[in-house]
Amino acid sequence: MPHVRDDRTIGLEGLPACIQLREAASGYPNRVATAERKMWDIQPKICKVTQYYAEFKVIAADLDWNPSALPNALRMGLSEEMKDSFTYSDMQKELRSSVTVCQKQDNQFPD
């Protein structure tokens, strides 16, 4: 409420100020470090690529990683069985392409 003006508008200078205020209020001081830890923690828990990718995207949204790091992080989190099914030529440089390849491979495995 301290940021609400008399004319009922909010007195913040754009989205960055709003995000900074939200983070300060939520008591979540190091969301990037937490997201990085979560990124590596999800690896062995989720076996289907679609489930893994859904959680991966949520966590990646809090990271400020170079776009070329995300496909590698995605591959690192796959099951050993999935990793073993890839050849060098299957490796993609873009995240969405990597996910497509992983989903095709995932469909080869029994549930």
Query: What is the residue-wise DSSP string for 10-41?
Result: B---HHHHHHHHHHHHHT-TTHHHHHHHHHHH
Q: What pLDDT score was predicted for residue 8?
A: 74
Task: Tell me how far apart the alpha carbons of residues 12 and 10 are, in angstroms, rounded to a whole number.
Answer: 6
Query: Would you state the pLDDT for residue 24?
Result: 66
**Global pTM?**
0.62
pLDDT given at position 107: 82
The residue among 62, 59, 68 whose CA lies nearest residue 97 is 68
* Beta carbons of 101 and 76 less than 8 angstroms apart: no
Answer yes or no: is pLDDT of 78 > 60: yes
Q: What digits encode the pLDDT tens for the residues 16-63?
A: 777 777 766 665 667 778 888 888 787 655 567 888 888 899 889 888
pLDDT of residue 26: 62
DSSP-based three-state secondary structure for 74 = helix
